[in-house]
């Protein structure tokens, strides 16, 4: 063990010894001084400390807020996120008032009604009126919160709009895989037993299904369009993961065998966020929010929010998974087509793909 560890242990032991000696000595002093006198003195000190704790605590709460508020993520970057932030502020105001009120009463009462020789405690076993008040008021307040909460909840979890961009996202230990349906706008069938990473089939697409031939599978980033609702179909290949999108305030588990969905509308492109946050390296990150094994903490994905035209350009450049798996069968895939050509041919496909088939 290193010197510093020994040093820390030595300091700790010494600290213990000192505290113990003081504590022990105070016990002897108490006996010599008289138990009653010591008790009264201790009571006064602790009564004062309770009041000090209340005041310093409230100052601390204010100070902590001033210090840390700039570090939380700023404005929500999706429409749903904005709703969640509104809900958050409503809840903050209501619970904040209750917090200050009850904490002040607690510590103030403790201080004010501390032991005094001549004080008689007030025999007050119950009072139906008071009890009714503090049953009914919380009940009403909570009804308000439940009302707001469910209003937003159903807006957020309701069906995705028909013009949503549908993207499939699949979690695996410890990365994210994204799939776009391709020109036919239909996801090809897949079966997990067909997964074969050596043969470039990470998701187990069934090549017998022609719909799978134009599906785009990528691990680079999840490209979505500013202002267009995006619906994520969420899968897992192994254990439970979770698609956590803190800037969009969204989250949904990825459960093997049971696909889940969530949708939202991004409000700012990645470029716009770079300017808004004054951070040239800004990225929308996907964090895995469900414990998934030793690489959980590093399971990161990137979402690129781009304009409609940039999205079409990006899409046109992507090779289908089929073309990657069987380069010999799709000759065009071997050498990328000239950019002008590819945009031209991809355009109608992109338009149709942007609209999900219901």
Residue list 174-193, contact with another protein (CB under 8 A): 192-193
Question: To the nearest whole angstrom, how small is the minimum distance from the Cβ of residue 182 to another protein?
Answer: 23
Of 259 and 348, which has the nearer Cβ to another protein?
A: 259
In the structure encoding, which two tokens stand for residue 160, read together? Answer: 């995705």
Whats the size of the chain, residue-wise?
358
CA distances from 290 to 175, 242, 245, 315 (A): 13, 5, 13, 30
Residue 115 binds another protein, judged by CB under 8 A: yes
- Which of 10, 14, 18, 26 is close enough to bind another protein by CB under 8 A? 26
CA distances from 137 to 90, 98, 102, 142, 190 (A): 17, 11, 14, 9, 54
Of 44 and 329, which has the nearer Cβ to another protein?
A: 44
- Which of 66, 93, 122, 335 is close enough to bind another protein by CB under 8 A? 122
Residues in binding contact with another protein, number by CB under 8 A: 129
Report d(CA 71, CA 153) in Å as an integer: 26
Q: Of the listed pieces 18-26, 222-230, 310-318, 325-333, which binds another protein according to CB under 8 A? A: 18-26
Question: To the nearest whole angstrom, how small is the minimum distance from the Cβ of residue 67 to another protein?
Answer: 8
Question: To the nearest whole angstrom, how small is the minimum distance from the Cβ of residue 105 to another protein?
Answer: 5
Report d(CA 160, CA 68) in Å as an integer: 35
Of 258, 278, 260, 276, the closest CA to residue 268 belongs to: 276
Q: Of the listed pieces 47-55, 181-189, 311-319, 340-348, which binds another protein according to CB under 8 A? A: 47-55
The angle at the Cα of 221, spanning 217 to 223, to the nearest 5 degrees, equals 90
Of 117, 131, 220, the closest CA to residue 169 belongs to: 220
Of 260 and 352, which has the nearer Cβ to another protein?
A: 260
Of 80 and 226, which has the nearer Cβ to another protein?
A: 80
Cross-strand pairs, 306 = 225
Of 145 and 313, which has the nearer Cβ to another protein?
A: 145
Question: To the nearest whole angstrom, how small is the minimum distance from the Cβ of residue 158 to another protein?
Answer: 8
Question: To the nearest whole angstrom, how small is the minimum distance from the Cβ of residue 129 to another protein?
Answer: 11
Q: What are phi and psi of 250, to 5 degrees?
A: -120, 160
Of 63 and 339, which has the nearer Cβ to another protein?
A: 63
Report d(CA 219, CA 172) in Å as an integer: 11
Residue 289 binds another protein, judged by CB under 8 A: yes
Residue 64 binds another protein, judged by CB under 8 A: yes
Residue 98 binds another protein, judged by CB under 8 A: yes
End-to-end Cα, the chain, rounded Å = 65
Of 183 and 304, which has the nearer Cβ to another protein?
A: 304
Residue 129 binds another protein, judged by CB under 8 A: no
Question: To the nearest whole angstrom, how small is the minimum distance from the Cβ of residue 343 to another protein?
Answer: 31
Evaluate whether 51 touches 112 at the Cβ level (below 8 Å). no
The angle at the Cα of 211, spanning 209 to 214, to the nearest 5 degrees, equals 120
Which residue, chain included where needed, has tokens 């998701």? 203
Contacting another protein within 194-253 (CB under 8 A): 195, 197-198, 204, 234, 237-240, 242, 244, 246-247, 249-253
């Amino acid at each position: 063990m290193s010197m510093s560890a020994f040093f820390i242990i030595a300091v700790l032991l010494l600290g213990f010894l000192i505290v113990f000696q003081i504590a022990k000595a105070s016990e002897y002093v108490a006996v010599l001084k008289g138990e009653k006198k010591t008790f009264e003195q201790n009571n006064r000190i602790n009564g004062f400390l309770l009041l000090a704790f209340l005041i310093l605590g409230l100052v601390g709460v204010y100070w902590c807020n001033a210090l840390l508020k700039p570090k939380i993520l700023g404005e929500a970057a999706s429409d749903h996120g904005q709703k969640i932030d509104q809900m958050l502020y409503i809840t903050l105001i209501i619970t904040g008032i209750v917090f200050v009120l009850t904490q002040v009463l607690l510590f103030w009462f403790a201080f004010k009604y501390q032991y005094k020789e001549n004080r008689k405690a007030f025999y007050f076993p119950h009072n139906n009126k008071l009890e009714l008040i503090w049953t009914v008021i919380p009940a009403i307040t909570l009804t308000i919160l439940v009302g707001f909460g469910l209003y937003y909840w159903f807006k957020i979890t309701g069906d995705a709009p028909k013009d949503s961009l549908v993207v499939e996202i699949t979690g695996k230990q410890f990365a994210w895989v994204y799939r776009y349906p391709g020109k036919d706008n239909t996801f090809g069938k897949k079966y997990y037993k067909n997964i074969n990473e050596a043969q470039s089939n990470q998701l187990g697409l069934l090549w017998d299904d022609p719909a799978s031939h134009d599906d785009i599978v990528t691990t680079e980033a999840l490209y979505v369009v500013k202002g267009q609702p995006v619906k994520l179909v969420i899968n897992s290949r192994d254990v439970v993961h979770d698609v956590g999108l803190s800037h969009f305030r969204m989250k949904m588990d990825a459960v093997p065998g049971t696909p889940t969905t969530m949708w939202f509308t991004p409000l700012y492109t990645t470029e716009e966020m770079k300017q808004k946050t004054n951070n040239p390296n800004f990225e929308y990150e996907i964090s895995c929010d469900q414990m998934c094994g030793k690489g959980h903490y590093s399971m990161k994905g990137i979402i690129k929010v781009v304009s409609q035209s940039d999205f079409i350009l990006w899409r046109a450049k992507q090779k289908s998974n089929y073309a990657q798996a069987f380069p010999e069968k799709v000759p065009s895939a071997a050498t990328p087509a000239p950019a002008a050509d590819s945009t031209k041919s991809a355009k109608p496909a992109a338009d149709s793909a942007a609209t999900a088939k219901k």
